[in-house]
Amino acid sequence: MNSDFIIGVIGLGYVGFPLACLFADKYKVIGFDMSRERVDELNAGHDHTAEVTAECHAKALANGLKCTTEWEVLRACNVYIVAVPTPVDDQHHPDLTPLEKASRTVGEVISKGDIVIYESTVYPGATEDFCAPIIEEVSGLKFNSDFFMGYSPERINPGDKDHRVENIRKITSGSTPEIAETIDRLYNSVLLNGTFRASSIKVAEAAKIMENTQRDINIAFMNEMAVVMNAIGIGISEVIEAAGTKWNFLKFQPGLVGGHCIGVDPYYLIDKAKQVGIYPRLTAEARRINEAMGGYVAERIIKCMTLNGKAENNARILLLGFTFKENCPDIRNTKVVEIYKRLAPYTSYIDVLDPWVNPDMAQKEYGIKTVSSIDGLRYSSYDAVVHCVAHDCFRELDFNSLCAEDGGIVFDAKGTLPPPYDKYLNTNKLYDEYNNSNLLQKNEKKQKFNHSDGIGNPGTEKSACSSLAACGHDCLLG
């Protein structure tokens, strides 16, 4: 291994900065990002993504990691790792603008013999067919003669403290056999669980996009089953639990599919497939199903409120959680926004509480005001409290105290609330009892709130959500 490698990491977000810290353990590393605010916070020892521990961050800086917005500094590097976002546009077509800009930056600083490794998720062929020509054009150098390329797809899972970059197994690849060997050794020198060397860059690109597309399709199936089971009147959580007793059943859960990977990457595959004359129907339909789930959840909230005699017009609604997943600050492509937008035409009294979110970022990105603590809420009680994201901190909340005195509802969109709010997860028996007893009236005296997921089985209109016990709680998103 060449100890003289100087590594330049381009893009210091959820992927790039953990990589920069990892390689700084053994190599000189320069991190480049176009955001002055991001660079300043990293150089000051703060990482708002929380993907790198304070200890690792401090160690990397002590080892000489330097973050900068000045691209000229990258000239000192001989290995470049590109880790910029690969989003889609409003029509769900790949937006390669960040990748193009990063490739042009590399072209400005690259020298003969240097290696460029891409980690950004792309369609098969993008590294060699899209990025390489840009570097050639800007640098005047020839691909696979003057400079070389590789691809090692990122596998960052925001908020996952068990599968950090240092202890996951990574795919590597190179544009020649010799470069593939060099890149594989480079990553192996810092990874605890090694690598898998793909036979080509295109194979590595395809593997990454297949990983995420497979998960998207599996979740879409569960979402479709949740909608079907809800229409039938069966709780999806119970069905999954029962089906899960078979040894080869895959226990995927239904839910909102947002974030930077699963909700975006399949579009790159769809677009590339169309270019070669194939329409991937299953992949496209999975995307359609998952994209619609935010609206479906909002409709279930409105229905649950209606069945409880709570008019949605001008109702006070509290959304708990705004990130795309639990226990992380990542708001990229969060589908809670879809719930908010669907409810907004009915009422302007919607509050969003999320201690993980930077309110300034949420306001800038989505134009939605969020607060970080209960003290920041506009109201003391709400007609509907919607559990959107299963942050651990929400398990300590007293949902009863957040509901209106005249009977607000608790809508558990995740199916993860602790006792007493999960007490009536399986309520088919309670529906039967209600028809033959005064259970409803008894519970009205004991409970001031009504508990429902609203997306599973809300019960019949006769018993519908009029009390905690008489309300169905068969969660779609459990």
pLDDT at 108 over 90: yes
Across the range 22-28, mean pLDDT stands at 96
In tens, the pLDDT along 214-251 reads 999 999 999 999 999 989 988 888 899 999 999 999 99
pLDDT at 472 over 80: no
Across the range 128-156, mean pLDDT stands at 97
Q: What is the 3-state secondary structure (H, E, C) of the chain?
A: CCCCCEEEEECCCCCHHHHHHHHCCCCEEEEECCCHHHHHHHHCCCCCCCCCCHHHHHHHHHCCCEEECCHHHHHHCCEEEECCCCCECCCCCECCHHHHHHHHHHHHHCCCCCEEEECCCCCCCHHHHHHHHHHHHHHCCCECCCEEEEECCCCCCCCCCCCCHHHCCEEECECCHHHHHHHHHHHHCCCCCCEEECCCHHHHHHHHHHHHHHHHHHHHHHHHHHHHHHHHCCCHHHHHHHHCCCCCCCCCCCCCCCCCCCCCHHHHHHHHHHHCCCCCHHHHHHHHHHHCHHHHHHHHHHHHHHHCCCCCCCCCEEEECCCCCCCCCCCCCCCHHHHHHHHCCCCCCEEEECCCCCHHHHHHHHCCCCECCHHHCCCCCECEEEECCCCHHHHHCCHHHHECCCCCEEEECCCCCCCCCCCCCCCHHHHHHHHCCCHHHHHHHHCCCEEECCCCCCCCCCCCCCCCCCCCCCCCCC
Across the range 110-134, mean pLDDT stands at 98
- State the pLDDT at residue 3: 65
- State the pLDDT at residue 400: 83
- State the pLDDT at residue 304: 87
Question: What share of the chain in percent tops pLDDT 70?
Answer: 87
pLDDT at 137 over 60: yes
- State the pLDDT at residue 382: 93
pLDDT at 252 over 60: yes
Q: Is 403 a catalytic residue?
A: no
In tens, the pLDDT along 374-400 reads 999 999 999 999 999 999 999 888 888
pLDDT at 407 over 50: yes
Q: Would you place residue 456 in the very low, low, confident or very high pLDDT band (cuts 50, 70, 90)?
A: very low
- State the pLDDT at residue 421: 56
* Residue of 261, 304, 388, 475 marked catalytic: 261
Lowest mean per-residue pLDDT among 102-106, 351-355, 371-375, 459-463: 459-463
